[in-house]
């Protein structure tokens, strides 16, 4: 903001506003001994401190300045604040009402209102807050103006030396933090590739949700069955384009800051462990199935907080104080977002805890101070083979998990009939075979007094199965079953379950296994998405059993075409 001048003794002016400004500066030094100067002269003093994030500009002012010089200077300050991440406090020392009005006019822009605090000290050394954020350091120092002497030439020289040294360290560190980020780019590319595969394959796998469930979503049921590869694979999948875009923007934003600080190896270990922590948390503590890089991203976010709170000399003091100002804000915002519907807060907190602990205890140790580095790869004083091994393991585990998801859950797995498992229907004295995948999502509800058994999920699996059984007055004779099936076929051809359902072709009677069954297909919309309902009715003992299979229109996998026939043929009395 202010040009850096050669350090030299400054001839203090005898102007009352300058003297009063210097008395305030002396009070700030007394209140905060860590305060130092980037610039000091008759026009302005630029105060920074390593103990508090804000920077302070002390401007000696007079009434005549309010018409021209002061508005121009304030416009420069407001413009520069739009590029600065640090809150700035402007203090006009001296003058009357016109000076205060100039401060108020400068504070009207949105940028000034968010980042700039405007303050005023009148000719009687009385302090007033004009607008914008307040600063307790200024308020406390202003109370001591009358009883404080201006700082000596030696104290000002010392503050300038210290401040400009901090500024140089800060600039060198910032230059190094603009280094390359190969791990961040690689992770974003991997998420994009896996997401693109899911989009390409959704038509062959029953829809986008069934595709991501098959190739990587995690849940306790899947992992308990030995599919541990899902723990990492799930972190590369996203529920929607907006979910992907939001997570990748966060990954990029955090990655370009953290990867240059930690180096690509530590960053990769951090991402992998955070993602694993989030996946483990949601798998064993959450409900249902989960996907997304949010757990890993939360680990990066809390790792940034750990770097700021436990820097261990890696970052220069002035940069740390600047980062502290904003370190908690994204975390607080994301805590609130985590409790929104459909957001997996368990994965968020699991990944966040792991990221903070691993960074605070291990990843910040052994790093070379950023301002002392020569290039992007110069992050450690000496090679660390063990760290390289961990990075290779983390990267290899993530890559292998994604590959396992593609191999074990790709569209070719849907081109063969699904593996079936037998499930009992409680209170009905029946059992039935359903796909093992659907059996992981069982449900039971009552429709009146009639139990309804469900397997799978409309938003998760290629086909969603409902089984409903209605008691008959007695067991039917073979010839009565034929009449019953004809009546059912006739009703299916003339009726529909609701006004929006459209019958697809004529109902038909087929022999499935040892029984006759009536089949009919209808198209209907569920949550505005078209589905095809394949319904079968069969008589088993003293019950009419209704089997319904719902699949997205045009997206039923090849191997699942005759699923309802297989379910009907498998019904047994227990």
Residue 542 sits in the same domain as residue 452: yes
Residue 130 sits in the same domain as residue 197: no
pLDDT of residue 6: 39
Q: Is residue 9 part of a domain?
A: no
pLDDT of residue 496: 55
Residue 20 sits in the same domain as residue 169: yes
Domain termination residue (choose one: 176, 197, 225): 176
Residue 429 sits in the same domain as residue 370: no
Residue 332 CB: number of other CB atoms within 10 A? 8
Give the domain extent around 270. Answer: 182-411
Residue 197 sits in the same domain as residue 169: no
Q: Is residue 5 part of a domain?
A: no
Q: In which residue ranges of the chain is pLDDT below 50?
A: 1-13
pLDDT of residue 46: 94
Please identify which residue in the block is written with the tokens 């740390």. 320
Residue 145 sits in the same domain as residue 257: no
Please identify which residue in the block is written with the tokens 């079936």. 420
Residue 159 sits in the same domain as residue 190: no
What CATH number did the domain enclosing 234 receive?
Answer: 1.20.1540.10
Q: Is residue 476 part of a domain?
A: yes
| Domains of the chain: total | 3
Largest CA distance in the chain: 118
Q: Is residue 454 part of a domain?
A: yes
What CATH number did the domain enclosing 565 receive?
Answer: 3.40.1000.10
Q: Are 547 and 465 a contacting pair, CB within 8 Å?
A: yes
* Secondary structure (3-state) at 101: helix
Q: Give the Å distances, CA to CA, from 444 to 269, 410, 456, 468, 570.
A: 43, 30, 12, 10, 20
Residue 345 sits in the same domain as residue 378: yes
Residue 164 sits in the same domain as residue 308: no
pLDDT of residue 101: 92
DSSP notation for 418-438: PPEEEEEETTTTEEEEEEHHH
Q: Is residue 458 part of a domain?
A: yes
In angstroms, the CA 535 to CA 564 distance is 8
Residue 433 sits in the same domain as residue 325: no
Of 529, 531, 528, 523, the residue nearest 553 (C-alpha): 531
- Provide the CB-side half-sphere exposure for 132 (13 A, CA): 25
Residue 403 sits in the same domain as residue 454: no
- Tens digits of residue pLDDT in 66-112: 888 899 998 888 888 776 667 789 999 999 999 999 999 988 876 55
User: Which amino acids are annotated catalytic?
Assistant: 294, 348
pLDDT of residue 427: 80
Residue 346 sits in the same domain as residue 486: no
Of 75, 409, 434, the residue nearest 236 (C-alpha): 409
Q: Is residue 563 part of a domain?
A: yes
pLDDT of residue 433: 96
Contacts for 490-497 with beta carbons within 8 Å, 24 or more apart? 492/518, 492/520, 492/535, 493/520, 496/522, 497/522, 497/524, 497/533
Domain termination residue (choose one: 176, 211, 237): 176
Q: Is residue 4 part of a domain?
A: no
Q: Is residue 106 part of a domain?
A: yes
Domain termination residue (choose one: 372, 389, 411): 411
């Amino acid at each position: 903001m202010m040009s850096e001048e050669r350090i030299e003794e400054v001839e203090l002016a005898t102007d009352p506003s300058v003297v009063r400004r210097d008395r305030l500066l002396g009070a700030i030094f007394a209140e905060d001994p860590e305060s130092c100067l980037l610039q000091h002269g008759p026009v302005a003093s630029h105060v920074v401190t390593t103990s508090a994030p804000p920077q302070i500009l002390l401007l000696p002012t007079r009434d005549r300045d309010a018409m021209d010089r002061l508005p121009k200077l304030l416009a420069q300050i407001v413009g520069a604040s739009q590029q600065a991440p640090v809150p700035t406090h402007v203090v006009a020392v001296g003058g009357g009402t016109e000076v205060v009005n100039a401060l108020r006019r400068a504070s009207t822009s949105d940028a000034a209102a968010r980042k700039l605090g405007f303050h005023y000290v009148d000719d009687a050394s009385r302090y007033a807050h004009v607008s914008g954020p307040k600063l307790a350091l200024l308020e406390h120092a202003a109370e001591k103006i009358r009883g404080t002497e201006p700082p000596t030439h030696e104290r000002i020289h010392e503050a300038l030396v210290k401040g400009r040294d901090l500024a140089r360290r800060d600039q060198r560190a910032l230059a190094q933090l603009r280094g390359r980020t190969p791990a961040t780019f690689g992770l974003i590319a991997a998420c994009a590739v896996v997401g693109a595969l899911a989009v390409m394959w959704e038509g062959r796998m029953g829809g986008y949700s069934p595709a991501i469930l098959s190739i990587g979503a995690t849940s306790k049921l899947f992992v308990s069955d030995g599919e541990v590869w899902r723990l990492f694979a799930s972190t590369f999948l996203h529920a929607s384009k907006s979910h992907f875009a939001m997570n990748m923007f966060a990954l990029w934003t955090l990655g370009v800051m953290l990867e240059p600080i930690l180096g690509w190896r530590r960053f990769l270990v951090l991402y992998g462990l955070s993602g694993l922590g989030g996946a483990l948390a949601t798998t064993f503590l959450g409900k249902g199935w989960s996907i997304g890089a949010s757990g890993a991203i939360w680990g990066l976010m809390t790792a940034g907080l750990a770097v700021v709170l436990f820097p261990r000399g890696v970052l220069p003091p002035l940069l740390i104080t600047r980062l502290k100002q904003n370190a908690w804000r994204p975390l607080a915002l994301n805590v609130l977002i985590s409790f929104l519907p459909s957001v997996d807060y368990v994965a968020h907190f699991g990944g966040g805890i792991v990221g903070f602990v691993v960074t605070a205890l291990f990843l910040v140790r052994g790093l070379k101070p950023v301002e002392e580095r020569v290039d992007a790869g110069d992050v450690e004083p000496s090679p660390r083979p063990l760290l390289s091994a961990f990075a290779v393991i983390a990267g290899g585990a993530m890559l292998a998990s994604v590959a396992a998801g593609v191999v074990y859950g790709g569209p070719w797995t849907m081109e063969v009939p699904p593996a079936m498992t037998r499930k009992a229907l409680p209170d009905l004295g029946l059992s039935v075979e359903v796909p093992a995948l659907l059996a992981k999502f069982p449900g039971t509800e009552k429709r009146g007094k009639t139990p309804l058994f469900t397997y799978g999920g409309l938003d998760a699996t290629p086909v969603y199965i409902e089984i409903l059984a209605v008691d008959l007055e007695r067991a039917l004779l073979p010839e009565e079953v034929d009449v019953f099936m004809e009546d059912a076929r006739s009703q299916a051809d003339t009726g529909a379950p609701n006004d929006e359902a459209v019958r697809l072709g004529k109902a038909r009677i087929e022999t499935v296994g040892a029984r006759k069954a009536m089949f009919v297909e209808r198209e209907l919309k569920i949550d505005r998405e078209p589905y095809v309902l394949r319904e079968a009715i069969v008589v088993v003992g003293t019950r009419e059993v209704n089997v319904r299979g719902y699949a997205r229109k045009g997206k039923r996998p090849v191997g699942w075409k005759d699923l309802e026939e297989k379910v009907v043929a498998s019904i047994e009395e227990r």
